[in-house]
Structure 1
C-alpha cells in the first residue's frame, strides 16, 4: 500500500502541532469548491470545514507533529517534514515529504533501510539500532543538516535528536542516492536493496528530495513492528 494513501489521503493536515489550524485544507490534487452565491451583490461567505481534531489525524502524522513541537527549538524550518514508516515493506513508497501548513504531500519515495535491520533481506525491518558498526537504521527525530558531495554524490547530513538516534552524525547516517533503490529491483527480487543504515533513495530522485527537505527541517522515522 502506498504510504501516502494510507496516512494522508482522506485527512487534513493541521498547522504545526500545538498551533491552531486556520484556513481550509484540501486533499492532495483536489480543489475546494465553494458554494454558489445566492446574492450577486453580496456573495455568501465560503463554508469552512472544521479543523481536524487530533484524534482524526493518522497516528504516524500525530507522532511526527508531536516530535516537531518537542524539538521546536532545534528545528529551524517548520514548514515541511519528512516521514518514514519503517513498519512498511521496502517495496512501498514509505518516505513522504509533507507541506505542514497546506496539508499537501510534496513527494512519495522508496527508501532503503540498513542491512543490520534486515539481515535476511526480506524487505522488512526486524530491528533498529543506534550502535556504531551495526549497519542498522535508527528511528526517531532527526534535523536535516548540511548538504555535501560525497561518495554517493549529493547528500544531506542528519543530526539525531533522540536517545535512540543521537549517534547518527557520528555514524554518518545521511540521506543519499543509491543504485540499489530502484523499481526494477522490486520486479526482480521483491524488494529494493539495503543501505548501511542511511536513508537511501533513488539516484534520479535524490536532488528533488534534498531540495524539498531542506536544512533545518525535521525528518521523523517510525519504529518497526514489535
Structure 2
C-alpha cells in the first residue's frame, strides 16, 4: 500500500479508525473524512506522530457540494484515489410502528443517498483513471434480516443492490467492489438511543478484527478482487 491514496469516509468511527491504523502502517496516504473534522484531525495527528501520512477533511455525505469538494480536494492535493472505504452510516432498530418518520428519512439519507453520492463522486475519478477499489459495509442486515430492523435492513439491502449493479456497470472501468457483511461489531453504533437492542459488546467482533478484512480487501493483487465476505461473532454463525 506504499503511497496509495486511501480515502476513509467515516474515518472517526470505530471501523474507520482501526482501518486507518493498518493503512497508515503499510505506507498509504490516509485521508480521514468525517462530519466532525476535529475528531478526524485528532486521529490524523496520531497517525502522523507515529510516522504516517494522514489528512483530515470535513464532509457531509448527504450534501452533494460537500462530497464534491472532498473528492476534488483529495484528488488535487494527493493524486488519484486508489481505495475508497465507505465506513459511515447511522442505525435505527425499533418496531415499525414506533419509528419516527424523520428518523427513517435520516437513515435512508445517510446510508443510501450518502453511499450513492460518495460512490458516484469518487467513482468519476476512478473511472477516468481506470482503477480503484471501493469497500462497502452492507453489514449482515444487508444480507439477512432480524426483528425490528425493517428500516435499517432496507437501507442496507439497498447498499447491497447498488454495489452488485455497480460491479456490472464499472467492469470495463476496472473499478473493483468489495462488500463486507459484518455481524455485530463493538462500536459506538450501539450507543445510539435509536438502536433499541440489548447487546453484549464483549461477545462482538472488534473494530481491529474488521480492519484486517478491510485491509485484505484493499490489498488484493491487481488482477483479483474480494467480492464478498461474511464475518460473524461465533455465537451468530450463519452456515
Common fold: TM-score over 0.5: no
TM class, shorter-chain normalised?
under 0.3
TM-score (norm 2): 0.24
Higher relative contact order (CA 8 A, sep 6+): 1
Structure (1/2) with the larger helix percentage: 2
Structure of larger gyration radius: 1
TM-score (norm 1): 0.24
Structure (1/2) with the larger strand percentage: 1
